[in-house]
Amino acid sequence: MSNLSSVIQVSSVKPGSFGGAVFSGRIIGQNKIYTCRASYKIITRIPQPGECWQFKGSITGHDQFRDFVLIESCHIVNLPIAAYVERLLVKHPAFRGLSFGKAKVSKLVRAFGAENLAQALTAGRVSYLAEFINPDLAQKVVDAWRTLQDEISTIEFLMEHHFDPGLAKSILKVCQTNTVERLKLNPYSLVAFQGIHPNIWKIVDAAAAKLGISRDDPRRLAGLVENLLYVRLDQGHTAYRIEELKTALMQKLSSARLVDQAIDCALQRRAVCVKTHQGTTLIQPLGAALIESKLEQRVATLLSAQASLLHGSAQELEQAIEDYSAHSQSTFGYSLTQDQKNAVRMALTNRISTLTGFGGTGKTTVLKAIVDIASRHRPVHVLALSGKAKERAKESVGRDTHTIHSFLIKISAASSGFNTGGDPLVVIDESSMVDIALMLKLLNAFAKKELSLLLVGDTGQLSPVGYGIFFHALVKSKAIPSTHLTKVHRSIDNSHLQNIAMKIRSGHLDTLPFWNGERDGVYLIPCTNTQDMLTHLAKIKQIIPDAQILTPHMSERMPDSGHKINNHLQSVLQHTDETLGIWMGKYWLRVNDPVIVTQNSYEHNLFNGNTGIMSGVTSIDGQIYGACLFNGIEVTLSRMDLFVLGMKLAYAISIHKSQGSEYETSIICSLSQSEFVERSMLYTGVSRSKRLALILSTQDIVQQGVARPNRSDTLCVGFSV
């Protein structure tokens, strides 16, 4: 195996597995053809015929190709020699469909010469080209050339300054023209991509220094403030208390004068804004502040309109609730409690309200009552964030439900024929998971229509993965009508499991008893390292095969990584033929493996969070297909389908993915004191269980996690009602 570093002009391309590419071409200055394979992780996009790509890689053996290169790094570059321009114009897809074929390209090359033609295209001299080809065509060719050249220049600039390909992809989507000029003018504008590139400040600051920008330049000072706010935004905060911001800035700057100047520069550039809330001055990123401000306005509008809403008379509504309760008693053997009746009344007499309760307190029972009674008078739409939560809501209310994303798509698509109806009741189940950006999109969809909004959830469970909080803030607000259910129905009333779950929720947990084979309650299995955890899990799964393993972490670097658990349990529990599987790039999906969907697919009626079993592998016309069983329904999926669905092993899933589900037995793995391990995370994990919850951890880690407040209570936000 030998190393190779050069520039290749691409002649042919085919997409590789999972977004990568296999491409062939001649190295500049040589006649030998090389075939290269690049992973999707290292290329900004699939190369196109005619383009030149700078690459580093190693030549290795291959059954099909003689000179085969495994690419380590590569990026598009400008044509190193003008003589290659003709091949680019003939081959590249950007110039196809313009009636600009080989004959016209050759005509221009003969008229100008390759080098002069390249210069004319770069300079945008349409009139020069129009002497030999149609003026409209000349303009289109120049436009296509400029777009391609802007992309190439941007990539070269980013690679020169050590930005990674993933960031380059995002920048190219946002910045379409004059990108390099704008980046050179203010490279600190790139700090907005903090979520994509966690170490972006260090790289941007180094690039700015190369460009001659001083350390006290207003662009750098403003960029530093923005960066700190974006780092916080990544953690869920939409605001920074000004004194805390100044303390953070003092660690980066040499004087209090520069700290004040940095905040002033950021304000002058309108990158951030100030908000005063309950006597506290907050600094916010402009985008997050606008979202929160608009949400406050929408909520205020709903609150001001609430008095106008009533379903018939108060007496008719009371009778409808009593009739429903009596019907429930005769049909199912239970009637609505007084708290549940109050919740139904609240939802049907207010424009905006919240319904909360501990896990298993009958929120879904109340939800069905609200939907059944309201639907006699008006349209009702039941929504949820995830596909799994949407399916559970469908089971609960016995009618079609939607994810919020699919609901918005149907509303916006004029051709869909979907109509929300007049003055609908919109119900969001598992509302604690919904972030402010998505919530604003939903309310904006009804900007010119009346609606009533009911948010159902549990504030003790996990807050949104995205930034900001909405549901938790509404529940705390005295301005929003709210009903809180407290009687638990899911697990045995006053059971050991319920008592422990409530102690975790309250932040006061006693020492957990050790597990000794019990099938009810919450128990600790002492565990301090990955190997012990994996050994325990293999033994428990043999005793309780249906137990669902949950973990706060999926990252490989964590000792309780879900990926480590999945790989280990597959290796020790699988007894099927190794050929009965599908290779997914980093892992196998084998027959009898539990699997989870991580991307929504309406084509397959499968949604993020759906769990099932890999039931078989077949070959159809030479292609491998996997059969997966979800809720008793078998679905046949190609390898590409599995990739599109983000199908992964599910011996262990994240606690986030489990939210909205319930299991007879859950096993919670928690071996580290990371920021994810806090009260709501542990409460959500334990409350997924109907009978038994086992915690693989130490008493100290569990106690420290329970002592840490819910993430939603620690976020600094500007949203208030």
Write the DSSP string, 20-80: -EEEEEEETT---EEEEEE-TTT-SS---TT-EEEEEEEEE--SS-SSEEEEEEEEEE--S
When comparing pLDDT for 492 and 331, which is higher? Answer: 331
Q: How far apart are CA 599 and CA 366, in angstroms?
A: 30
Pairing of strands 548-551, 521-526: unpaired
Mean pLDDT of 106-116: 88
Query: 380 - beta bridge partners?
Result: 425
Mean pLDDT of 188-216: 86
**Given this model, what pLDDT does residue 167 score?**
72
Residue 121 pLDDT > 60: yes
Q: What is the DSSP string of 659-710?
A: TT--EEEEEEE--S--TT-SHHHHHHHHTTEEEEEEEEE-HHHHHHHHHSPP
Residue 564 pLDDT > 70: yes
Q: How far apart are CA 615 and CA 594, in angstroms?
A: 9
Q: Name the residue type at position 504.
A: I
Residue 558 pLDDT > 90: yes
pLDDT digits (tens, 9 = 90+) for 205-253: 999 999 999 999 999 999 999 999 999 999 999 999 999 999 999 999 9
Confidence class for position 19, pLDDT limits 50, 70, 90: low
Q: Using DSSP, state whether 417 is helix, strand or coil.
A: coil
When comparing pLDDT for 454 and 80, which is higher? Answer: 454
Q: How many C-beta atoms surround the C-beta of residue 139 within 10 A?
A: 14
Cα distances (angstroms) measured from residue 16 to each of 9, 37, 46, 554, 637: 18, 8, 9, 26, 19
**Given this model, what pLDDT does residue 387 score?**
78
Q: Name the residue type at position 336.
A: L
| Close Cβ partners of 96 (under 8 Å, ≥ 6 residues apart) | none
Q: Name the residue type at position 613.
A: I
Q: Which residue has the tokens 């391609």?
A: 148
The answer to whether residues 171 and 193 touch, using CB atoms and an 8 Å cutoff, is yes
Length of the chain: 721
Mean pLDDT of 309-328: 81
Residue 192 pLDDT > 50: yes
Count of alpha carbons within 13 angstroms of residue 54, beta-carbon side: 11
Going by C-alpha positions, the residue among 448, 401, 406 that lies closest to residue 426 is 401
The answer to whether residues 367 and 469 touch, using CB atoms and an 8 Å cutoff, is no
Helix axis angle, 679-686 to 496-506, nearest 10°: 160
Residue 114 pLDDT > 90: no
Q: How many C-beta atoms surround the C-beta of residue 122 within 10 A?
A: 13
pLDDT digits (tens, 9 = 90+) for 617-655: 988 877 889 999 998 889 999 888 898 898 999 999 999
**Given this model, what pLDDT does residue 62 score?**
64
**Given this model, what pLDDT does residue 176 score?**
63
Residue 452 pLDDT > 80: yes
Q: How far apart are CA 211 and CA 205, in angstroms?
A: 10
Going by C-alpha positions, the residue among 201, 220, 113, 218 that lies closest to residue 163 is 201
Q: How many C-beta atoms surround the C-beta of residue 254 within 10 A?
A: 10
**Given this model, what pLDDT does residue 28 score?**
85
pLDDT digits (tens, 9 = 90+) for 143-163: 998 888 888 888 888 878 877
**Given this model, what pLDDT does residue 90 score?**
87
Q: How far apart are CA 546 and CA 566, in angstroms?
A: 15
Confidence class for position 310, pLDDT limits 50, 70, 90: very low
**Given this model, what pLDDT does residue 309 score?**
45
Helix axis angle, 135-160 to 165-174, nearest 10°: 140
Q: How far apart are CA 183 and CA 167, in angstroms?
A: 14
**Given this model, what pLDDT does residue 467 score?**
93
Q: How far apart are CA 3 and CA 17, in angstroms?
A: 23
pLDDT digits (tens, 9 = 90+) for 527-538: 999 999 999 999
Cα maximum dimension of the chain: 91
Angle (CA) 322-323-327 rounded to 5° is 115
Mean pLDDT of 20-47: 84
**Given this model, what pLDDT does residue 491 score?**
46
pLDDT digits (tens, 9 = 90+) for 83-97: 678 888 888 888 888
Confidence class for position 705, pLDDT limits 50, 70, 90: very high
Count of alpha carbons within 13 angstroms of residue 691, beta-carbon side: 9
| Residue 612 host element (H or E) | strand 611-620
Mean pLDDT of 505-513: 93
Q: Using DSSP, state whether 525 is helix, strand or coil.
A: strand
Lowest mean pLDDT among 13-17, 46-50, 612-616, 699-703: 13-17
Q: List b or e across 294-321, with b for residues whose CB sees 16 or more CB atoms inside 10 angstroms.
A: ebeebbeebbeeeeebebeeeeebeebb
Q: How far apart are CA 126 and CA 192, in angstroms?
A: 36
Query: 532 - beta bridge partners?
Result: none
Q: How far apart are CA 478 and CA 643, in angstroms?
A: 46
| Close Cβ partners of 30 (under 8 Å, ≥ 6 residues apart) | none
Angle (CA) 121-125-128 rounded to 5° is 105
Query: 596 - beta bridge partners?
Result: 611, 648
Q: How far apart are CA 140 and CA 372, in angstroms?
A: 59
Burial class (CB in 10 A: 0-12, 13-18, 19+), 361: buried
What backbone phi and psi angles, to 5 degrees, belong to 466?
-75, -175
Question: Which range scores top for mean pLDDT: 77-81, 328-332, 476-480?
Answer: 476-480
Burial class (CB in 10 A: 0-12, 13-18, 19+), 177: exposed
Residue 454 pLDDT > 90: yes
Residue 580 pLDDT > 80: no
The answer to whether residues 391 and 429 touch, using CB atoms and an 8 Å cutoff, is no
Mean of the per-residue pLDDT values of the chain: 88
As given in the structure block, the two tokens for residue 720 are 């208030």
